[in-house]
């Protein structure tokens, strides 16, 4: 089945230690998104790629970066995680703008 896969499902890192979350898709969608979701809140968009074009949200901290080496893969890098970065990180894809998004099951990030 075509899907969006996030690895790992759970990630524990130390305060200030860089961490990378990964997302892959078999849907061949043009657009890939990264969201941060904290408990009992709606997902918050961090950035998205439309093909290779990177679009950063104005309020996304500089600490967060992303790479999309090809259509199928996208990575979220957190350079120096702080306690406030503990959250669920969701990857999503869509065929084009304005269409339903397909989400992975997320990576829950804990900071020690």
Partner 1 sequence: SQQGEEDPQALSIQEGENATMNCSYKTSINNLQWYRQNSGRGLVHLILIRSNEREKHSGRLRVTLDTSKKSSSLLITASRAADTASYFCATYNQGGKLIFGQGTELSVKP
Binding mask 45-84 for partner 1 (x = CB under 8 A): x----x------x---------------------------
# residues near partner 1 by CB under 8 A: 23
Among 1, 40, 59, 83, binds partner 1 (CB under 8 A): 40
Instruction: Return the beta strands (E) in the chain as ranges.
Output: 4-7, 10-13, 19-25, 31-37, 44-50, 53-56, 64-67, 73-78, 87-94, 102-103, 107-111
Q: Which is nearer to partner 1, 15 or 54 (CB)?
A: 54
Question: Is residue 4 within the footprint of partner 1 (CB under 8 A)?
Answer: yes
The answer to whether the beta carbons of residues 61 and 53 sit under 8 Å apart is no
The reply to whether 86 sits near partner 1 by the rule CB under 8 A is no
């Amino acid at each position: 089945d075509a899907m969006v896969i996030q690895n790992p499902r759970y990630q524990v890192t130390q305060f200030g230690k860089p961490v990378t979350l990964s997302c892959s898709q078999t849907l061949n969608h043009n657009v890939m998104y990264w969201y941060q979701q904290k408990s009992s809140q709606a997902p918050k968009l961090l950035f998205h790629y439309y093909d290779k074009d990177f679009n950063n949200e104005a309020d996304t901290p500089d600490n967060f970066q992303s790479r999309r080496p090809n259509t199928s893969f996208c990575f979220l890098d957190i350079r120096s995680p702080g306690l406030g970065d503990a959250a669920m990180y969701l990857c999503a894809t869509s065929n084009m703008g304005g269409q339903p998004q397909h989400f992975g099951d997320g990576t829950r990030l804990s900071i020690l």
